[in-house]
Amino acid sequence: MKKISKLFSLLICIVMMSSLFVGCSKSQTSEINFFNYGENIDEETLKEFEAKYNIKVNMETFDDMEAMYSKVKSGAGKYDVILVSDALMPRMIEQKLVQKLNKDNIPNISQMDNQYLNLDMDPDNNYSVPYMFGTVGIIYNTDVVKEDVDSWDILWDKKYKDKIFMFDTYRDTIGAALKKLGYSLNSTSQKEIDEAKELLLQQRKLVNPLYGVDNGTTMIPAGETDVNMIWSGEGLNLQDEYPNLKYVVPKEGANFWVDSLCIAANATNVDGAEKFINFVSDKESALRIADEIGYTTPNKEARKEQPENVRNNPNAYMPEEIMSRCEIYTDLSMDVKKMYDKAWIQIKSDEE
């Protein structure tokens, strides 16, 4: 009797332990934490992923890449999938903040156009899968601006005084001035940065309000501005919505950026992260996301399904002659950053 009782007790323990392991397994695979730059994804794609894999997506957003980097590095947040910019990618790889991908589990990377793979930021895409790309360019009101716009010069044209909008981001705004001068937007030359600073100080008399970011997307359709710096996604969306607005990539070249999906080094659900990255990299998901957020997709199969006016728009999918003059931002050394910071403080402080 005692032996039977012991066996029965042992059986109960085994059942309980099995339940615990099942419970642990379920908690590990039932959700992923996604750290996204803004809400750069559509709700339908998230719902479809959750329904297909029974994995809940907890999405947290950030609006500044350096803030994302600081939070990930500090360990203040625990994430599985992170959206990482091209400029930060080498730093995050070097500091082991993202982990090497098992591309056998992300076969949809094969759908990406070679143009957006094997970039210097991550040769062989060992750590990242391209998610979206775009440019910084110009949008203008054709009801007011009658000349063809193809250059950064328009942002210094006195005809549009108080109707010009510039970004309140030093890499973009100083970068536009550097490109106008014929320099690299990744310049490390004190002389070139000083020239760009002087050019922007001259422009200050023409710019009202001083600088901004997202408010530019509402100001130009409202007629408050006529010529704006703008990111391509917002620019192309506004162009579609308002027939009098046109987005262009300046002939001198501009910032070309690629945001990519990575798996955090300390991810707790690598399997779920791989499934998520593979899912959003599929043609159908990539097509829907591009349509929703307005940015261009690196997925070559999705591009084929886009409307002709999108897939053949040279200011969205740039021809080689424009692409060759565009640059990806590089992660500047601390000494060079100090040069840019000093110039930016002088530009911003000259308000009167």
Query: What's the pLDDT score for residue 311?
Result: 87
| pLDDT reported for residue 16 | 44
Per-domain boundaries in the chain:
30-133+258-311, 134-256+319-349
List the one residue out of 176, 145, 138, 177 whose CA is nearest residue 159: 145
Q: Which CATH superfamily is domain 30-133+258-311 in?
A: Periplasmic binding protein-like II (3.40.190.10)
Architecture of 134-256+319-349 per CATH? 3-Layer(aba) Sandwich (3.40)
pTM above 0.85, yes or no: no
CA distance 277 to 36: 12
The DSSP code sequence of 185-196 is TT---HHHHHHH
* Amino acid 314: pLDDT: 85
Task: Give the end-to-end CA distance of the chain in Å, rounded to a whole number.
Answer: 95
**What DSSP designation does 31 have?**
E
Q: Which residues contact 24 (CB under 8 A, 6 or more apart)?
A: none
Per-position pLDDT tens, the chain of length 352:
433 344 344 444 444 444 444 444 444 458 999 999 988 899 999 999 999 999 999 999 998 898 999 999 999 889 999 999 999 999 999 999 999 999 999 999 999 999 899 999 999 999 999 999 999 999 999 999 999 999 999 999 999 999 999 999 999 999 999 999 999 999 999 999 999 999 999 999 899 777 988 788 999 999 999 999 999 888 988 998 999 999 999 999 999 999 999 999 999 999 999 999 999 999 999 999 998 887 899 999 999 999 988 888 888 888 888 888 899 999 899 999 999 999 999 999 875 4
Cα within 13 Å of Cα(154), Cβ side: 29
User: Can 30-133+258-311 and 134-256+319-349 be said to share one CATH topology?
Assistant: yes
What is the Cα gyration radius of the chain? 24
Sign of CA dihedral 313, 317, 321, 324: positive
Question: How high is the pLDDT of residue 323?
Answer: 84
Q: Half-sphere exposure (CA, 13 Å, Cβ side) for 137?
A: 30
pLDDT reported for residue 351: 52
